[in-house]
Amino acid sequence: MRNQFEAFIDDLKATHGANLASVILYGSAAAGDFVAQASDYNLLVALHQIRPKDLRDAHACMREWRRLGHPVPVYFTVAELKDAGDVFPIEFHHMIGARKVLYGEDVLVGVTISDSFLRHQTEYELRSKLLQLRRLYIPASVSVEKLCLLMSESLTSFSALFRAVLILYGVNPPVTKQAVVSEIVKLLKIDDDPFEKIFMIRETFASNSLNEISANQLFSNYMEQIERVIDAVDKLKKS
C-alpha cells in the first residue's frame, strides 16, 4: 500500500496544490487492525478551503483511487475540523483514536470533542444499524454465505459504535475492533460467543463450518447481544 498511498498523495498535491493541508489515514488500517478484503483504508483530506471546483478537480485522482477498490476520502476544511467536534463526536473519536499523518500537518491535534450529544448520537446510530441489520437479514437468511457476509460486515460498524459506548461508560476504548468488543462484553456482561465466531469468519472467511440452521442461530444470538448493548445505552439517559 505504500506505493499506492504515495501515488495518491502525489495526485492530491497536483490537484489541490497549496490548498492541500493534510492527508490522514484513520481507523483500522492506522490501528494495525486491517483485514484484507474486509477492511477499508479510511482517509481524511483537509483543505484550507473547499469550493465546488476543488471537488470537481479531484475527480480524476478519486476515479483511480476507487478503481483500486478504496472508498473516497472524507473532505474537511481545516476550520471545520476545529468547529465540528460537537456535531460528530463518534466520528471524531474514531479519527483521533487511531490515525497516521501521511502528508502535511496533523490537523486533528487540538480538536475539541464535545460529548454532550454523544449518548443521543450513539443510540441513534446503534438503532439505525439494528434496523438495517434486520432488513438485510431477510434476503440473506436463506444463504449461509450471504448471512456470514452480513454478520462480518455489520460487526465492523457495530464495533466502531461500541467504542462510543465505552466512552459513555467512562472507559478509555482500546484501538482494535476485537479489543473493543471484548471490553463491551466485560462491561455489560453479555455473551462473547457470537462475536468471537463472527470475528473468526471475518478473518478466515470460514463460513463452510456452518450450515443453514447454525448460521441463522448465530445471527439470532448476535442480534440479541446488539439489542442488549442498545438497552444499556438507553438506560443511561434515565440515570
Domain finish residue from 104, 135, 168: 104
Q: Which of 58, 76, 104 is the last residue of a domain?
A: 104
154 close to 133: Cβ distance less than 8 angstroms: yes
Q: Is residue 109 domain-resident?
A: no
Listed residues 104, 128, 153: the one ending a domain? 104
Residues 122 and 120: their CA atoms lie apart, in Å, by: 5
In a shared domain, residues 91 and 139 = no
34: pLDDT strictly greater than 70:
no
Share of the chain above pLDDT 90, in %: 66
Whether residue 19 is found in the same domain as residue 95: yes
CATH of residue 32's domain is 3.30.460.10
Range of the domain at 173: 118-236
One domain, residues 218 and 122 = yes
As for how many domains the chain has, the answer is 2
pLDDT of residue 138: 95
Same domain, 88 and 159: no
The per-residue pLDDT of the chain, averaged, comes to 89
pLDDT at 206: 62
Residues 205, 123 share a domain: yes
Separation between Cα atoms, residue 125 and residue 229, nearest integer Å: 12
pLDDT of residue 33: 65
How many other C-beta atoms lie within 10 A of the C-beta of residue 162? 26
What tens digit of pLDDT does each residue of 107-166 get?
A: 998 888 877 788 989 999 999 999 999 999 999 998 999 999 999 999 989 998 999 999
Q: Same structural domain for residues 82 and 42?
A: yes
pLDDT in tens, 179-198: 999 999 999 999 999 999 99
Q: Does the residue 214 lie in any domain?
A: yes
Q: How many CB atoms lie within 10 A of CB 53?
A: 8
Closest CA to 177 of 202, 209, 208: 202
pLDDT at 30: 77
Whether 43 maps to a domain, the answer reads yes
Lowest mean pLDDT among 28-37, 59-68, 102-111, 162-171: 28-37
Which range among 30-34, 182-186, 201-205 shows the weakest confidence by mean pLDDT? 30-34
Residue 70 lies in a domain: yes
Cα separation of 189 and 187, whole Å? 6
Q: Are 47 and 127 found together in one domain?
A: no
